[in-house]
């Protein structure tokens, strides 16, 4: 038998579910315990932020919201590995990555609270990142196009996109990794495999044993990591970013995690998945293992945890207040951003709406 | 000065803008060495290299989505859909992202891109190669939908489309790609994207059309003139945002209007113009507005396709009906 080509997918994990280190070759960043504490703190603030968002929705102060519960290691691992000049194209629940890049909680609240200004990220580097992309996997091609622009201009920047396990079924994902392979583009596509695409489980999403191997078909470096282990996610990201930045091409990373919450606040996951599975998911969740590891290293404890949670609460309360105090845009805002300048024909419709306003309609 | 065809005017505009603006680039299927299946990009890759004239993988979704990404990063991509009938996979990226990026980010991110596509029937092409579907795009906010009808307008409107800060659908009527030549100075002068062009002055009836049907409308005006009827001919050119004022002024003068387009009749863009006339010019009208269009059928394969297309005779008949009415 002649083999035309042969492939394998590496699985990367440093910390097991209990926080026990399963390999000795810690990457450089993980030897800096001060930095690891910073990552843990951002994961914790992401979780506090998420709980606050759901509370806002349940009390009628927010529209439908997509929770990131359980994804903290994957998201913070992605965001913290990127450089400011890189570009991020998220789907719609990667707050951990985005908070790292300067998206403000109040902006998340504004978007899910029905105000386009939530997409107008004010702080760099988020300001040059893409906004949330609701149509599944479409953002992968925006990242590929960004990567192509960087290559054409000779810029040492990388475009990163994230999608879910369901998103990896879509043509836009295949198209993005395909052109990245064909044109050797600096693209890193991360499949945050949380096992559920709303109610459709991973096993009937794809017959592929790993989702990472989809990258092999496109000629990209491909790896599967424990997505609840921030050291593994961050290490795979750093390697992928370095390869992309140095012209060695794109990567696909599958971060295996679990969606501990509902798909969105409009969903009720009890309709389609059992309690035991969710309990198992909590056993493997990302915060506990990193906390155990940091406690064992002597750099974290309950007092620090409580103090940081209190700081997060204060931060989020501040953000919630800023969000709740934000006045609704004037009705003309509906027209002001359709084109660079409002065309005469559209201005007539705007003026009509404004005339209704003055009549108090 | 050389006389050039409409398709050569497209190439001339692309070459001019690429030479004067490094951020302008072309991407699509077969646009490189092959110069595009209609040769719109002929010679560009030799001049500007394989990255700025990029042969993409064969996936229209990829072309459209990558175009959005390029444009957000400050490039000015000109994407080619090989045929209008292959544009459907691009529509999600165009409608959900290209057309709404500026609005949904409150102006933070923008998509200064052009989506070109050879448009319409009449060249005895295979199935799916003859579609006229501009009306599917005129209903999408945030897009400019532009269709040239002569070499000079192709050159000037394409330059304007590339320079426009927002996404432009640029539909090229392939039936008249090589219909005739005219002098088109390569002077980089763009035409405005916010006006209709009055191609022929008249007093009795207004013929409103765009793209390839400008040919039939002008021929119909000649025929009507030989019968003593004076027809004004308007090339809408930029369908959205619409310069309705030019159409209204003409109809206020003539009192009669025939709208001619190749796309199916129901909910075609002619319906929008007819509705506007009803809203704004009802009391100027001396006769019901006529529409001469394709039918609410798929464009037939080529043995029957000319039976589907608006003909000079159908336009003349419709114009005479408006005159008979009053």
Give the pLDDT band of residue B1 (cuts 50, 70, 90): low
Classify residue A5: in a domain, yes or no.
no
Classify residue A352: in a domain, yes or no.
yes
Q: What proportion of chain B, given as a percentage, has pLDDT over 90? A: 99
**Cβ–Cβ contacts within 10 Å for residue B166, how many?**
23
pLDDT in tens, B126-136: 999 999 999 99
Closest Cα partner for B235 from B181, B198, B190, B263?
B198
Report yes or no: B198 and B234 within 8 Å, Cβ to Cβ: yes
Q: How far is CA A18 from CA A73, A228, A289, B78, in A?
A: 14, 11, 5, 53
Structural domain of A336: 330-361
Whether omega for the bond prior to residue A125 falls within 30 degrees of 0, making it cis, is yes
Q: Is A146 on the interface with B (CB under 8 A)?
A: yes
Classify residue A2: in a domain, yes or no.
no
**Cβ–Cβ contacts within 10 Å for residue A317, how many?**
11
Q: Which tokens is A212 given?
A: 């990472």
pLDDT reported for residue B200: 98
Closest Cα partner for B157 from B268, B18, B4, B12?
B12
Please give the backbone phi and psi of residue B4, each rounded to the nearest 5 degrees, phi first.
-130, 160
Query: The whole model's pTM is what?
Result: 0.97
When CB atoms are compared, the residue of B65, B103, B142 closest to A116 is B103
Report yes or no: B254 and B204 within 8 Å, Cβ to Cβ: yes
Q: Which of residues 132-151 of B touch A (CB under 8 A)?
A: 141-142, 144
Q: Which of residues 49-68 of A touch B (CB under 8 A)?
A: none
Give the pLDDT band of residue B198 (cuts 50, 70, 90): very high
Q: Which of residues 62-81 of B touch A (CB under 8 A)?
A: 62, 64-75, 77
Closest Cα partner for A64 from A134, A124, A123, A149?
A134
Whole-angstrom distance, CA of residue A164 vs CA of residue A292: 28
Report yes or no: A126 and A103 within 8 Å, Cβ to Cβ: yes
Q: Do B72 and A147 touch (CB under 8 A)?
A: no
Q: Which tokens is B49 given?
A: 């290299």
Buried b (16+ CB within 10 A) or exposed e, A247-260: eebbbbbbbbbbbb
Report yes or no: A184 and B106 within 8 Å, Cβ to Cβ: no
pLDDT value at A71 more than 80: yes
The answer to whether residues A185 and A334 belong to one domain is: no
Classify residue A184: in a domain, yes or no.
yes
The answer to whether residues A343 and A240 belong to one domain is: no
pLDDT reported for residue A248: 97
pLDDT reported for residue B91: 98
Report yes or no: B74 and B23 within 8 Å, Cβ to Cβ: yes
Whole-angstrom distance, CA of residue A305 vs CA of residue A44: 9
Q: What is the β-pairing status of strands B197-200 and A200-201?
A: unpaired
B128: left (phi over 0), alpha (psi -120 to 50) or beta: left
Closest Cα partner for B176 from B209, B144, B207, B221?
B209
Q: Which tokens is A133 given?
A: 């992309």
Closest Cα partner for A95 from A121, A68, A118, A69?
A68
Rg of chain A on CA atoms, in Å: 21
Classify residue A361: in a domain, yes or no.
yes
pLDDT in tens, A330-346: 999 999 999 999 999 99
pLDDT, mean over chain B? 97
Q: Is A110 on the interface with B (CB under 8 A)?
A: no
Report yes or no: A15 and A229 within 8 Å, Cβ to Cβ: yes
Is position A259 annotated as part of the catalytic site?
yes
Whole-angstrom distance, CA of residue B171 vs CA of residue B10: 11
Closest Cα partner for A56 from A72, A43, A67?
A67
pLDDT in tens, B252-267: 999 999 999 999 999 9
The answer to whether residues A160 and A76 belong to one domain is: yes
Most A CBs within 10 A among B53, B79, B106, hence the mutation to make, goes to: B106
Q: How far is CA B287 from CA A174, A216, A226, B268, in A?
A: 55, 66, 73, 21
pLDDT value at A264 more than 70: yes
Classify residue A190: in a domain, yes or no.
yes
The answer to whether residues A270 and A347 belong to one domain is: no
pLDDT reported for residue B326: 77
Domain count, chain A: 2
SS3 B231: strand
The answer to whether residues A309 and A354 belong to one domain is: no
Whether omega for the bond prior to residue B241 falls within 30 degrees of 0, making it cis, is yes
When CB atoms are compared, the residue of B52, B68, B141 closest to A142 is B68
The answer to whether residues A142 and A235 belong to one domain is: yes
Classify residue A21: in a domain, yes or no.
yes
Q: Is A143 on the interface with B (CB under 8 A)?
A: yes
Q: How far B115 CA sits from the closest chain A CA (Å)?
A: 15
Q: Is B104 on the interface with A (CB under 8 A)?
A: yes
Report yes or no: A221 and A250 within 8 Å, Cβ to Cβ: yes
The answer to whether residues A320 and A334 belong to one domain is: no
| pLDDT (average), residues A31-59 | 97
pLDDT value at A360 more than 80: no
Q: Which tokens is A12 given?
A: 């990367």
Q: Is B246 on the interface with A (CB under 8 A)?
A: no
Q: Is A196 on the interface with B (CB under 8 A)?
A: no
Instruction: Map out the domains of chain B with their CATH numbers.
Output: 3-183 (3.40.50.970), 197-324 (3.40.50.920)
**Cβ–Cβ contacts within 10 Å for residue B108, how many?**
20
Q: What is the β-pairing status of strands B197-200 and B205-209?
A: unpaired
Residue A229's domain is classified under what CATH number?
Answer: 3.40.50.970
Whole-angstrom distance, CA of residue A195 vs CA of residue A203: 8
The answer to whether residues A270 and A167 belong to one domain is: yes
Closest Cα partner for B230 from B241, B244, B220?
B220
pLDDT, mean over chain A? 97
Catalytic positions of B: 129
The answer to whether residues A248 and A290 belong to one domain is: yes
User: What sign does the CA torsion over B207, B211, B216, B222 have?
Assistant: positive
pLDDT in tens, B67-81: 999 999 999 999 999
Give residues with Cβ within 8 angstroms of B25, minimum separation 6: A152, B18, B48, B51, B52, B53, B54, B70, B75, B76, B77, B78
pLDDT value at A279 more than 70: yes
Most B CBs within 10 A among A104, A124, A127, A148, hence the mutation to make, goes to: A148
The answer to whether residues A15 and A129 belong to one domain is: yes
Q: What is the β-pairing status of strands B168-173 and B144-146?
A: parallel
The answer to whether residues A192 and A300 belong to one domain is: yes
The answer to whether residues A272 and A359 belong to one domain is: no
| Max CA pair span of chain A | 82
Classify residue A3: in a domain, yes or no.
no
Q: Which residues of B touch A116 (CB under 8 A)?
A: 103-106
Q: Which of residues 154-183 of B touch A (CB under 8 A)?
A: 165-166
A247: left (phi over 0), alpha (psi -120 to 50) or beta: left
| Side-by-side strand order, sheet with B197-200 | B197-200, B231-235, B205-209, B257-261, B290-293
Give the DSSP H or E segment for A55: helix A33-58
| pLDDT (average), residues A98-125 | 98
């Amino acid at each position: 038998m002649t083999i035309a080509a042969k492939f394998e997918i590496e699985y990367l994990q440093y910390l097991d579910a209990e926080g026990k280190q399963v390999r000795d070759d810690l990457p450089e960043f993980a030897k800096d315990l001060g930095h690891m504490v910073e990552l843990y703190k951002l994961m914790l603030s992401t979780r506090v932020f998420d709980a606050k968002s759901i509370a806002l929705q349940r009390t009628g102060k927010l529209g439908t919201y997509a929770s990131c519960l359980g994804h903290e290691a994957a998201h913070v691992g992605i965001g913290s590995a990127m450089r400011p000049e890189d570009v991020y194209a998220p789907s719609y629940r990667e707050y951990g990555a985005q908070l790292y890049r300067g998206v403000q909680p109040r902006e998340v609240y504004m978007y899910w609270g029905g105000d386009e200004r939530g997409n107008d990220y004010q702080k760099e580097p988020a300001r040059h990142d893409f906004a949330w992309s609701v149509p599944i996997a479409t953002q992968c091609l925006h990242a590929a196009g960004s990567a192509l622009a960087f290559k054409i201009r000779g810029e040492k920047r990388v475009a990163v996109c994230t999608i879910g396990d369901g998103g990896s079924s879509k043509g836009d994902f295949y198209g993005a990794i395909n052109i990245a392979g064909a044109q050797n583009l600096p693209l890193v596509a991360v499949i945050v495999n949380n096992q559920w695409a709303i109610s459709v489980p991973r096993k009937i999403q794809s017959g592929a044993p790993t989702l990472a191997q989809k990258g092999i078909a496109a000629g990209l470096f491909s790896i599967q990591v424990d997505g609840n282990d921030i050291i593994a996610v961050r290490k795979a990201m750093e390697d992928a970013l370095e390869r992309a930045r140095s012209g060695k091409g794109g990567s696909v990373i599958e971060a295996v995690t679990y969606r501990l919450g509902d798909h969105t606040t409009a969903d009720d996951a009890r309709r389609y998945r059992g309690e035991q599975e969710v309990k198992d998911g909590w056993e493997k969740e990302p915060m506990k293992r990193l906390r155990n590891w940091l406690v064992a290293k002597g750099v974290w404890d309950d007092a620090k945890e409580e103090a940081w949670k209190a700081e997060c609460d204060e931060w989020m309360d501040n953000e919630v207040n800023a969000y709740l105090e934000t006045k609704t845009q004037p009705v003309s805002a509906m027209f002001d951003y359709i084109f660079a300048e409002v065309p005469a024909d559209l201005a007539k419709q705007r003026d009509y709406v404004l005339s209704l306003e003055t009549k108090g309609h | 000065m050389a006389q050039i065809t409409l398709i050569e005017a497209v190439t001339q505009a692309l070459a001019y803008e690429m030479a004067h603006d490094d951020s302008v680039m072309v991407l699509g299927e077969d646009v490189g060495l092959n110069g595009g299946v209609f040769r719109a990009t002929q010679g560009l890759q030799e001049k500007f290299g394989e990255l700025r004239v990029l042969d993409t993988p064969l996936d229209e979704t990829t072309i459209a989505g990558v175009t959005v990404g390029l444009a957000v990063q400050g490039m000015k991509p000109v994407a080619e859909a090989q045929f209008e009938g292959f544009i459907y996979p691009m529509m999600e990226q165009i409608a959900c992202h290209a057309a709404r990026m500026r609005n949904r980010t409150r102006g933070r991110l923008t998509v200064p891109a052009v989506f070109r596509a050879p448009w319409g029937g009449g060249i005895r092409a295979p199935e799916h190669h003859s579609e006229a579907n501009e009306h599917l795009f005129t209903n999408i906010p945030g897009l400019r939908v532009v269709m040239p009808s002569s070499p000079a307008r192709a050159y000037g409107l394409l330059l304007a489309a590339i320079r426009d800060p927002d996404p432009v659908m640029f539909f090229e009527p392939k039936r008249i790609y090589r219909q005739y030549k005219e002098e088109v100075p390569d002077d980089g002068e763009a035409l405005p994207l916010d006006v209709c062009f009055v191609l022929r002055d008249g007093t009795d009836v207004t013929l409103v059309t765009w793209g390839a049907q400008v040919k039939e409308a002008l021929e119909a005006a000649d025929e009507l003139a030989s019968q003593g009827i004076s027809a004004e001919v308007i090339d809408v050119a930029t369908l959205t945002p619409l310069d309705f004022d030019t159409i209204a002024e003409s109809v206020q003068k003539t009192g009669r209007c025939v709208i001619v387009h190749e796309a199916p009749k129901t909910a075609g863009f002619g319906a929008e113009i007819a509705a506007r006339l009803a809203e704004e010019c009802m009391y100027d009208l001396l006769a019901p507005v006529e529409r001469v269009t394709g039918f609410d059928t798929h464009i037939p394969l080529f043995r029957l396709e000319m039976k589907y297309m608006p003909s000079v005779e159908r336009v003349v008949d419709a114009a005479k009906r408006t005159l008979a009415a009053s």
